[in-house]
Structure formats: structure tokens, C-alpha cells
């Protein structure tokens, strides 16, 4: 027990409370900058920022499992897609108000997470990931083929939104505020005893089992929480784009968000935000100049693997924060 | 949601054979993946791209040689070697420096490779749909159970077991194959007795990719060759390898049969949701046997 404490908690931080003043400065500045940016920058950049925030939320929710939980959550996009489709279907097929849809989205995603996770936590590592891919692909195939309900590969377009989230700046602020709230909640979970237990399970499941931690139950709860956040990201996608399509549930997207976590630094809390920013900016800005943007992305990824194996944010933390590499233990995950 | 046609014996039989021939293609591709997974312990995400390159280079080779039957046979023989060369270059120049790294980093590398190869294919061959004609003797269909069955599928049904026997012979009877199998089980030990493990890995990677290319070349006359082939096959190969038991060659065969047949019968029973059936089969198998059907080499 003692060993976990010294290894994975930053004791001083705990003593000073979860939010020390110093650690609040940087996120606070970024938040304020994001608040005042939209009137200054062109509309297209505002939209891109909104996409980055929404994608970052998705990547963060995945990183709760991959980085902090050590679970091979290979098909996270399914929960994102289920959330988005739930919102879209409620708004287009029923007369229910928007807020019901926006709440139902994450709940449905979490429910899907519960069902799929319930099967998956029985398996370990790669098998976990594979079972999830097959169950997730099942959901994808149903959405893809069930024309009467989901319009199949055409997707659902022109989803009606209430007036307060129709103009571009209001959409942006809505996404920014939801993102900020989710980030705070995620950070609280990350620093909570539950989060610490999860990280302990990542580093040594056998020992956790031995000291009486119910490993599977913790993992399942983590999956439910993470898929709930993925559902919120799905909400934001619908708010932003006003449409859904089956590609949201396809494994390529899941892999992309997985890569964002690795890219940004999967042992850090904020890494996935950076990963999402890099991926979305690459796709948006390199995509303008060349249709071969994935080639560029591939080359950048290879350069990162060779030179920044702990992810961009992991590298920055190590270089400038002079934090000990405690959590970055090779071969433990 | 119309439920299938009539379930005559002939329809079932033909569908069984169709599923079987699909399973053979899947087997050739996933056997390659299984080999890489067994020795290198890396799920090679770029495997599907190499399969796609196999199909595209088969197209080019057969076109260069005039598109006749000779061109087809040469394409079938040469395309896998083209893929093997591509794999060798990627392995020796980049991949071999990463073996000591974190496992997920290797996964990330193969993903980057997939992105790069996918775009290179787009640059070389463009986004158009291509097709290859099989030679006359493999065109048309023969009558089985009173229903027509494509001759080419029959050809695949013959090639599949031949490849299986070839792989068995290679990994059990040749020295290189035995070393590769040993490296799959205990790589430190293989290194300790003086074998250059790095080259064993290179060899395994290239051989696995060779099989992907062979699968791509074999499948090319039956489908349109296009970008996006890689996405379709890679997940199937992954799931097959997993339900069979990671790194187990015979597991790949069992997995392919399950996958191919469930797909074929799915088309017969409920065409609209045919793509759902293999995933259901995989899910049931993984829940029933969490570590795959056969023993994994891990």
C-alpha cells in the first residue's frame, strides 16, 4: 500500500489540495484566451477550435482508460457514435426537447459501455481490445445497415437545434463551457482515490487483487465513466455539425483517437488535448495544401516515435517541469 | 427485412463453398499476420495496406505483360515479392530500430506505416477502381449441386490448402522456420545461443507481408481493386487471428473458416445484416474461450 502511495501520488499536491494555485494558472490563462478569441480570429478558425475541443474531450475520455487504466480500449469511437446517434434520433424522430436528447446521449453511451465493458473486463490486454472491436463492430454494422432507423450509410443530416446553440459563436461557447466542466470533473476523478486505484491497477493488477481491490469492478466503473464522457463528446459533435454518419462508429476513428492519446502523452493528464490538437490541425491545415495529408501525418508520427517516445506533452513535462519520471515505467502497461 | 431465399440443399452447398473460398483468402492474409504477431508480438496494422499493394501491383504486372493469361500468372507470382521488398525496406530502415521500445509504440509505428503506404498507393495508382481478368481456364463457372459455381473460387479452394501445407512445411521442417518458431516462444534464449534475432524478426515480418501480398494478388480478379481494400481486410484478419489464438497458424485457419462461413451463411439467411454475423460469431467465441480457440504462442 505504502509503495503505491509514494509511487503514484504526488504527496505535496495532495497535501496542498487537489487544485493548487500554481497548477491553476496555465489552464486558467488558456481558458481566458479561448474565451476572448472568437471575435478576433476568422470564423473558420473558431470552427476549427470547436472541433479541437470536441475531439480533445473524446481523447481525454479514452485516455482515462488507456493511459490511467491500462485498458486496451480499441473501439472507443462506438460510444461516441452511440451518443451522437442517440441525440440525432431523439431530435429527429421524437418531439422531446433538446435537453432530454443531450442528456440521453451520454446515458445511452454509458449504457452501451456497461454492456460491452461487462463482457470485456473478463479478458486481458489484447484480447480485451479484440473483443471490444468485435462487439463494437457489431454496433457499427447494425447502425450501418439498419436503414429504416438510422438511414444507413447516408447518416442523418439537418438535425434541428434550439436557438441558443445555432449561431457559430454560441456553439463555440457552448462547447468550450461543456469541455471546461468535463475537464474539471475528469481531473477530480483522476486525483480521487478511485483514480489512484485505477492507476495502481494499471501498474500491477495482481498486487491490487492481492490487497483486496476488485479489479474488474473498478475497470468496469472506469469504462462506464469514460464512455459517458465519450457520449458527451458525441453530443458536442451533433451540436457542432448538425449531422451524424456511421463513420463515427468505424474502427478507423477509434484508432485515430487512440493515436491521439499516444501522441500527446498517455501517462499525462493533459496529453490527449495536445494530441487531438496536433491531429485536427494537421488534418485541417495540411489538408488545405495537399490531399496526401495522411502521408504527412504518418511521417510526423514516425518522427515522434523515434524522438519523443513519451508523447509531446510527456516530453514537455519532463523537460520543463523537471518532474520525476515516476509514472513512466517501461513495460508496466 | 426479407429473410433469405429458399433453403434448398443446393443453395446451402454453394453458399458453403463460397464461404470456404472466402475463408481461404482470409486464411492466407491472416496467416501472415499471425506469423508476424507470433514472432514480433506486434499487431501489424499495415498488413491490410500490404494486401492492397499486392492487389495493385498484380494489376500493374499483369498490364505490363499484356493482360493475357501469362500476365496473370506472372502477377500472381511476382506481386507477393514486390510486397515483400516493400516490407523489407520498411523493416530494415525503420522498424528494426524500435524492437526495444514500448509495445504500443510498435503498434503506433505500424499505424503510421499504414497511413504512409495508403497515401503512396494513392500517389502511384490513383483513386480509380481497377480490375484484372482471370485467364480463360479460370473464367466462367462449373456446375456443382446443379448450381453454377465460379471456377476462380474453385481455384482459390485449391490454392488455400496448398499454402497451408507450405506454411506447415516451412515452419516445421526447415531450419529458418524452426528458429522463427523458437523466437516466437523465447526470443532471449534464441539470441543467447548466437542467432541474430534482429534478422529473424526481419525475416518473419517479410514473410508475413509476403502472405498479405499473395492474398491481395489472389483476390484481385474477384473484386475491384481500390483504395479502402486495406480497411476492409485488416479488421477481419485481426479478429481471425484473435479467435484462433494469437500467433497460432492453425488457429488462423480455424478462425478464417468460422469467419468466412458465418459471413456466407449470413448472406443466405439475412442479407441486410449479413456483415453482422461474423462479428457475432467472434464475440461468442471470445466470451466462451477468452484466449482463442487454439493455444496461443504468447
List CB contacts of A154: < 8 A, sequence separation 6 or more.
A245
Side-chain-side CA neighbours of residue A275 (13 Å): 33
- Compute the Cα dihedral for B290, A208, B187, B196 and give only its sign: positive
Helix (H/G/I), strand (E/B), else coil: B15: helix
Residues of chain B neighbouring A305 (CB-CB closer than 8 A) = 98, 101, 105, 108-109, 112
> How many Å apart are CA A117 and CA B204, to the nearest integer?
34
Q: Do B119 and A294 touch (CB under 8 A)?
A: yes
Instruction: Say whether residue B116 is in contact with chain A using an 8 A CB cutoff.
Output: yes
> How many Å apart are CA B296 and CA B245, to the nearest integer?
4
Contact between residue B201 and residue B99 where contact means Cβ atoms under 8 Å apart:
yes
> How many Å apart are CA A209 and CA A295, to the nearest integer?
44
Delineate the domains of chain A, giving CATH numbers in brackets. Answer: 2-251 (1.10.3470)
* Residue matched to cell numbers 492474409: B29
Residues of chain B neighbouring A75 (CB-CB closer than 8 A) = none
- Beta bridge pairs of residue A244: A156
DSSP readout, B203-229?
HHHHHHHHHHHHHHHHHTTTS-B-TTH
Residue-level pLDDT at B277: 87
Contact between residue B36 and residue B47 where contact means Cβ atoms under 8 Å apart:
yes
* Other Cβ atoms closer than 10 A to A147: 12
Residues of chain A neighbouring B276 (CB-CB closer than 8 A) = 138, 141-142, 145
Above 50 in pLDDT, residue A10?
no
DSSP readout, B130-185?
B--PPPGGGSSEEEETTEEEEHHHHHHHHHHHHHHHHHHHHHHHSHHHHHHHHHHH
Mean per-residue pLDDT, A214-221: 91
What's the gap in Å between the CA of B239 and the closest CA on chain A?
Answer: 6
Helix (H/G/I), strand (E/B), else coil: A244: strand
Residue-level pLDDT at A317: 75
Above 60 in pLDDT, residue A333?
no
Contact between residue B167 and residue B177 where contact means Cβ atoms under 8 Å apart:
no
Strands B147-150 and B141-144 turn out to be: antiparallel
Q: Tens digits of per-residue pLDDT, A37-89?
A: 877 888 888 889 999 999 999 999 999 998 888 888 889 999 999 999 999 99
**Prediction pTM value:** 0.84
Instruction: Say whether residue B290 is in contact with chain A using an 8 A CB cutoff.
Output: yes
Q: Do B287 and A255 touch (CB under 8 A)?
A: no
Q: Is B128 exposed, middle or buried (0-12, 13-18, 19+ CB in 10 A)?
A: exposed
pLDDT band at A230; cut points 50, 70, 90: very high
Cell of B236: 477481419
Delineate the domains of chain B, giving CATH numbers in brackets. Answer: 9-288 (1.10.3470)
Q: Do A134 and B279 touch (CB under 8 A)?
A: yes
* Residue matched to cell numbers 516462444: B185
| CA dihedral of residues B182, B186, B188, B189 (deg, nearest 10) | -60
Distances (CA, A) of B57 to B51, B72, B131: 10, 11, 11
Cell of B101: 521500445
Side-chain-side CA neighbours of residue B162 (13 Å): 7
Biggest alpha carbon–alpha carbon distance for chain B: 63
> How many Å apart are CA A38 and CA A44, to the nearest integer?
10
pLDDT band at A19; cut points 50, 70, 90: low
State whether ipTM is beyond 0.85: no
Q: Do B279 and A137 touch (CB under 8 A)?
A: yes
Residue-level pLDDT at B287: 83
> How many Å apart are CA A197 and CA A195, to the nearest integer?
5
Helix (H/G/I), strand (E/B), else coil: A156: strand
Q: What is chain A's mean pLDDT, rounded?
A: 83
Residues of A contacting chain B (CB within 8 angstroms): 119, 122-123, 126-127, 130-131, 133-135, 137-138, 141-142, 144-145, 251-252, 255, 259, 262-263, 266, 291-292, 294-295, 297-299, 301-302, 305-306, 309, 330-331, 333
How long, in residues, is chain A? 333
Of A158, A159, A157, A155, whose CA–CA distance to A247 is shortest?
A: A155
> How many Å apart are CA A261 and CA B105, to the nearest integer?
12
Contacts 24+ apart (CB under 8 A), A97-104: A97/A162, A98/A161, A98/A162, A102/A235, A102/A239
DSSP H or E run through B123: helix B103-125
Residue-level pLDDT at B53: 93
Instruction: Say whether residue B89 is in contact with chain A using an 8 A CB cutoff.
Output: no
List CB contacts of B21: < 8 A, sequence separation 6 or more.
B153, B154, B156, B157, B160, B260
DSSP 8-state symbol, A154? G
Contact between residue A123 and residue A247 where contact means Cβ atoms under 8 Å apart:
no
In three state form, how does the secondary structure of B24-39 look? HHHHHHHHHHHHHHHH
Q: Do A135 and B283 touch (CB under 8 A)?
A: yes
* Residue matched to cell numbers 497458424: B249
End-to-end Cα spacing for chain B: 43
pLDDT higher for A317 or A212? A212
Of A137, A246, A232, whose CA–CA distance to A179 is shortest?
A: A232
Above 90 in pLDDT, residue A97?
no
Residue-level pLDDT at B23: 92
> How many Å apart are CA A260 and CA A38, to the nearest integer?
25
How long, in residues, is chain B? 298
Q: Tens digits of per-residue pLDDT, A135-159?
A: 898 898 888 888 888 887 888 888 8
Q: Phi/psi of residue A159, each to 5°? A: -75, 125
> How many Å apart are CA B84 and CA B209, to the nearest integer?
6
Contact between residue B210 and residue B87 where contact means Cβ atoms under 8 Å apart:
yes
Mean pLDDT, consecutive 10-residue segments, chain B of 298 residues? 57 84 91 86 88 92 81 88 92 83 81 90 86 78 78 88 89 86 82 86 90 91 84 86 83 90 86 83 84 73
Cell of B81: 515479392
Residues above pLDDT 90, as percent of chain A: 27
- Nearest by CB to residue A305, choosing from B108, B116, B291, is B108
DSSP 8-state symbol, A282? I
Amino acid at each position: 500500500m505504502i509503495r503505491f502511495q509514494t509511487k503514484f501520488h504526488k504527496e505535496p499536491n495532495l497535501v496542498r489540495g487537489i487544485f493548487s494555485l500554481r497548477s491553476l494558472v496555465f489552464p486558467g490563462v488558456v481558458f481566458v484566451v479561448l474565451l476572448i478569441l472568437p471575435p478576433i480570429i476568422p470564423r473558420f478558425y473558431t470552427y476549427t477550435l470547436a472541433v479541437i475541443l470536441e475531439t480533445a474531450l473524446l481523447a481525454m475520455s479514452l485516455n482515462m482508460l488507456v493511459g490511467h487504466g491500462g485498458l486496451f480500449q480499441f473501439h472507443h469511437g462506438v460510444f461516441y457514435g452511440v451518443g451522437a446517434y442517440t441525440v440525432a434520433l431523439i431530435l429527429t424522430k421524437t418531439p422531446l426537447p433538446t435537453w432530454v436528447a443531450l442528456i440521453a446521449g451520454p446515458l445511452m453511451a454509458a449504457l452501451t459501455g456497461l454492456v460491452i465493458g461487462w463482457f470485456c473486463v473478463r479478458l486481458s490486454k489484447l484480447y480485451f481490445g479484440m473483443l471490444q472491436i468485435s462487439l463494437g463492430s457489431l454496433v457499427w454494422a447494425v447502425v450501418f445497415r439498419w436503414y429504416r432507423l438510422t438511414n444507413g450509410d447516408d447518416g442523418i443530416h439537418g438535425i434541428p437545434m434550439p436557438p441558443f446553440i445555432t449561431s457559430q459563436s454560441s456553439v463555440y461557447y457552448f462547447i468550450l463551457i461543456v469541455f471546461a466542466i468535463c475537464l474539471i470533473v475528469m481531473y477530480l476523478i483522476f486525483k480521487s482515490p478511485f483514480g489512484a486505484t485505477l492507476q495502481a491497477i494499471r501498474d500491477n493488477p495482481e498486487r491490487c487483487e492481492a490487497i483486496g481491490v476488485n479489479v474488474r469492478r473498478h475497470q468496469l466503473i472506469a469504462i462506464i465513466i469514460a464512455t459517458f464522457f465519450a457520449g458527451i463528446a458525441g453530443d458536442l459533435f451533433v451540436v457542432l455539425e448538425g449531422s451524424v454518419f456511421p463513420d463515427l462508429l468505424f474502427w478507423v476513428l477509434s484508432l485515430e483517437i487512440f493515436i491521439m492519446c499516444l501522441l500527446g502523452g498517455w501517462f499525462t493528464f493533459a496529453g490527449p488535448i495536445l494530441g487531438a490538437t496536433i491531429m485536427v490541425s494537421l488534418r485541417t491545415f495540411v489538408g488545405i495544401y495537399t490531399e496526401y495529408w495522411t502521408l504527412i501525418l504518418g511521417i510526423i508520427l514516425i518522427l515522434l516515435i523515434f524522438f519523443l517516445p513519451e508523447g509531446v506533452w510527456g516530453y514537455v513535462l519532463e523537460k520543463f517541469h523537471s518532474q520525476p519520471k515516476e509514472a513512466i515505467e517501461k513495460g508496466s502497461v | 427485412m426479407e429473410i433469405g431465399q429458399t433453403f434448398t440443399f443446393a443453395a446451402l452447398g454453394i453458399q458453403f463453398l463460397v464461404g470456404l473460398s472466402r475463408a481461404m483468402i482470409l486464411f492466407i492474409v491472416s496467416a501472415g499476420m499471425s506469423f508476424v504477431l507470433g514472432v514480433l508480438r506486434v499487431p501489424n496494422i499495415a498488413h491490410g495496406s500490404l494486401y492492397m499493394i499486392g492487389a495493385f501491383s498484380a494489376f500493374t504486372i499483369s498490364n505490363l505483360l499484356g493482360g493475357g493469361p501469362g500476365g496473370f500468372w506472372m502477377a500472381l507470382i511476382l506481386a507477393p515479392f514486390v510486397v515483400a521488398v516493400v516490407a523489407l525496406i520498411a523493416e530494415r530502415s525503420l522498424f528494426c530500430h524500435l524492437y526495444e521500445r514500448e509495445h504500443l509504440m510498435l503498434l503506433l509505428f505500424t499505424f503510421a506505416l499504414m497511413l504512409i503506404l495508403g497515401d503512396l498507393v494513392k500517389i502511384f495508382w490513383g483513386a480509380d477502381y481497377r480490375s484484372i481478368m482471370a485467364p480463360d481456364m479460370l473464367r466462367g463457372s462449373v456446375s456443382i449441386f446443379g448450381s453454377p459455381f465460379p471456377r476462380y473460387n474453385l481455384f482459390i479452394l485449391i490454392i488455400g490448402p496448398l499454402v497451408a501445407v507450405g506454411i506447415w512445411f516451412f515452419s516445421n521442417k526447415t531450419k529458418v522456420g524452426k528458429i522463427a518458431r523458437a523466437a516466437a516462444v523465447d526470443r532471449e534464449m534464441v539470441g543467447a545461443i548466437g542467432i541474430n534475432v534482429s534478422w529473424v524478426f526481419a525475416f518473419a515480418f517479410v514473410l508475413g507481408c509476403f502472405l498479405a501480398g499473395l492474398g491481395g494478388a489472389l483476390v484481385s480478379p474477384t473484386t475491384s481493386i481500390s483504395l479502402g481494400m486495406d480497411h476492409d481486410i485488416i479488421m477481419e484478419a485481426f479478429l481471425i487471428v484473435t479467435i484462433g489464438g494469437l500467433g497460432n497458424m492453425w488457429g488462423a485457419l480455424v478462425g478464417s473458416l468460422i469467419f468466412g462461413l458465418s459471413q456466407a451463411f449470413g448472406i443466405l439467411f439475412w442479407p441486410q445484416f449479413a456483415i453482422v454475423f461474423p462479428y457475432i460469431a467472434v464475440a461468442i467465441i471470445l466470451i466462451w474461450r477468452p484466449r482463442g480457440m487454439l493455444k496461443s504462442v504468447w
